[in-house]
């Protein structure tokens, strides 16, 4: 493969790519919800503060997701694939939520949209997601990657 298209995981370059790929997700979340989830996920030891080591671990996870072929490098092509997957996911979500097919999602449609991930995660189908069901679901998702 042409080494001109490869780059080592330079923090600024990787962060820029990650922000491009994940930016629309974070913009779609209410500010407090997005920040709270990010903080909880990143604060691995639960001490109420994000240590540099914890942030580095999260960056490592992001790198692994971007490095689709597992060769230890993220290429421009892999970043483009990540952007395309994000765009496809957004389009799919819009289609699922657009109940009347007018190309727009109203508040009512948004609130009534199917939630297949919740349904998959709700192991016993009781309409409530326990912490154990959530952990098991996340573990299954990570194993399938």
- What are all long-range contacts of 80-88, with beta carbons under 8 Å and residues at least 24 apart? 82/17, 82/21, 83/20, 83/21, 86/21, 86/22, 86/24, 86/25
pLDDT digits (tens, 9 = 90+) for 101-135: 998 889 898 888 877 778 888 888 888 878 888 88
Q: Residue 74 pairs with which residues in a beta bridge?
A: 7
Tell me, yes or no, whether 139 and 94 share the same domain. no
Tell me, yes or no, whether 32 and 91 share the same domain. yes
pTM of the predicted structure, to 2 decimals? 0.46
Tell me, yes or no, whether 78 and 9 share the same domain. yes
Give the span between the Cα atoms of 59 and 82, in whole angstroms: 15
Tell me, yes or no, whether 122 and 103 share the same domain. no
Q: Are 41 and 134 in contact (CB under 8 A)?
A: no
Tell me, yes or no, whether 109 and 137 share the same domain. no
Tell me, yes or no, whether 60 and 32 share the same domain. yes
Tell me, yes or no, whether 119 and 109 share the same domain. no
Q: Residue 6 pairs with which residues in a beta bridge?
A: 75
The residue with greater pLDDT, 60 or 8, is: 60
Give me the domain span that covers residue 17.
Answer: 3-113
Tell me, yes or no, whether 11 and 75 share the same domain. yes
The residue with greater pLDDT, 84 or 23, is: 84
**Domains in the chain, number:** 2
Tell me, yes or no, whether 57 and 18 share the same domain. yes
3-class DSSP state of 14: helix
Tell me, yes or no, whether 40 and 12 share the same domain. yes
Residue 6 in tokens: 């490869």
Tell me, yes or no, whether 32 and 53 share the same domain. yes
Give the span between the Cα atoms of 82 and 62, in whole angstroms: 11
pLDDT above 60 (res 78): yes
Only one residue has tokens 């449609």, namely 109
Tell me, yes or no, whether 141 and 101 share the same domain. no
């Amino acid at each position: 493969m042409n080494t001109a298209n490869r780059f080592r995981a330079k923090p600024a370059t990787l962060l820029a790519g990650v922000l491009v790929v994940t930016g629309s997700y974070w913009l779609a979340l209410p500010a407090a919800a997005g920040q709270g989830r990010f903080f909880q996920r990143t604060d691995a030891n639960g001490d109420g503060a994000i240590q540099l080591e914890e942030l580095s671990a999260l960056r490592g996870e992001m790198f692994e997701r971007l490095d689709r072929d597992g060769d230890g490098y993220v290429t421009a092509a892999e970043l483009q694939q990540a952007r395309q997957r994000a765009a496809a996911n957004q389009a799919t979500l819009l289609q699922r939520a657009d109940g009347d097919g007018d190309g727009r999602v109203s508040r009512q449609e948004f609130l009534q949209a199917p939630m297949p991930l919740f349904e998959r995660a709700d192991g016993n189908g009781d309409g409530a997601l326990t912490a154990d069901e959530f952990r098991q679901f996340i573990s299954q998702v990570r194993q399938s990657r």
